């Protein structure tokens, strides 16, 4: 079986089915599930931190044997570009939703602290209630883009992990797919819970949630293609994906989880997530 076909299969399972499973779990969650999702998001953030810090960055710095630290500054540049790219795209999305759905004031931080704000489903619901199909469609596209920004770099990680692999069962690629699949379950919950709370039928919410993981496949194919171009391209792809994921973790997952449950418990869930990530990577 060609490697790229196997990558599509693996990322479909990790991205679409993993996110869809989270959406299914979200169907049985209570409408006020902030504390539960807070813990799951914190755990997912910890898992992703392990992936980025203990695997992606180290591989980006040393994409080929005996290279020393010659790729260090290229890795730093890739991290910054990846981080700032996702940051800028998120700002564009936020600026197109916050001015329409009033929720920011002196006592309400700009960082989302409600499940509806996590994926901008409040923006979608606002236009759905207005009855304007065009506005509802645009709001749905914005919501889909917000979700896709999480999944594209995750797919790149799986793709570049298969670069240079001699067989489809390469351990690095499978490990990344498993770790990201675990991470996608709580993200799926974070997508489905606000959709269901907003009145969307449960089955439709699960389908929409599962489809939101589809960009993982595109990211994986791009990552694999870049990784096959050589060590420099592999370094760029790994560091860019790592930077993008760092923004998702530090700019969204962790702040949102702590704001949804203002206690020390999410910090403990982050630590558990990091430990699980280490076990999956190295065992």
pLDDT in tens, the chain (283 residues): 778 888 899 999 999 998 899 888 888 776 566 788 788 889 988 988 998 898 889 888 987 776 767 889 999 999 999 999 989 988 888 887 877 777 666 666 666 666 677 777 778 778 777 777 777 778 777 877 877 787 888 888 888 888 766 666 666 778 888 888 887 887 788 788 778 877 778 888 888 889 888 999 999 999 889 888 888 888 898 899 899 889 988 988 888 888 888 888 999 999 999 998 888 888 7
User: Domains in the chain: how many in total?
Assistant: 1
Rounded Cα distance, 23 and 192, in Å? 5
pLDDT of res. 12:
93
pLDDT of res. 217:
93
pLDDT of res. 268:
94
pLDDT of res. 80:
96
Neighbours of 93 (CB within 10 A): 16
Q: Long-range pairs for 146-150 at CB < 8 Å and ≥24 separation?
A: 146/90, 146/93, 146/119, 146/120, 147/119, 147/191, 147/212, 147/215, 148/212, 148/215, 149/86, 149/89, 149/90, 149/93, 149/248, 150/187, 150/248, 150/252
pLDDT of res. 59:
86
pLDDT of res. 84:
95
Q: Long-range pairs for 58-66 at CB < 8 Å and ≥24 separation?
A: 59/238, 60/234, 60/235, 60/238, 60/239, 60/242, 61/235, 63/231, 63/232, 63/234, 63/235, 63/238, 64/231
pLDDT of res. 221:
92
Q: Which domain, by its residues, includes 159? A: 3-282
Rounded Cα distance, 162 and 147, in Å? 24
């Amino acid at each position: 079986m060609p490697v790229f076909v196997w990558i599509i299969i693996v990322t479909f399972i990790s991205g679409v089915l993993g996110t869809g499973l989270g959406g299914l779990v979200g169907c049985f969650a209570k409408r006020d599930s902030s504390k539960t999702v807070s813990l799951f998001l914190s755990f997912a953030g910890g898992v992703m931190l392990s992936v980025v810090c203990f695997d992606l960055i180290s591989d980006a710095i040393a994409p080929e044997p005996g290279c020393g630290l010659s790729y260090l500054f290229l890795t730093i540049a890739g991290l910054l570009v990846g981080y700032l790219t996702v940051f800028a795209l998120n700002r564009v999305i936020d600026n197109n939703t916050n001015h329409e759905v009033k929720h920011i004031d002196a006592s309400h931080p700009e960082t989302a602290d409600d499940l509806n704000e996590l994926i901008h489903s409040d923006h979608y619901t606002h236009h759905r209630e207005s009855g304007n199909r065009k506005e509802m469609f645009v709001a749905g596209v914005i919501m889909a883009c917000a979700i896709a920004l999480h999944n594209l770099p995750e797919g790149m990680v799986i793709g570049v992990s298969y670069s240079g692999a001699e067989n489809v069962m390469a351990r690095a690629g499978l490990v990344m797919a498993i770790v990201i699949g675990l991470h996608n379950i709580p993200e799926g919950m974070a997508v489905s819970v606000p959709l269901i709370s907003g009145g969307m039928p449960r089955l439709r919410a699960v389908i929409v949630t599962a489809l939101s993981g589809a960009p993982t496949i595109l990211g994986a194919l791009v990552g694999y293609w870049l990784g096959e171009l050589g060590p420099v391209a592999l370094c760029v792809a790994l560091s860019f994906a790592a930077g993008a994921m760092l923004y998702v973790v530090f700019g969204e997952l962790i702040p949102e989880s702590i704001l949804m449950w203002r206690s020390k418990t999410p910090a403990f869930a982050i630590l558990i997530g990091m430990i699980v990530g280490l076990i999956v990577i190295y065992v």
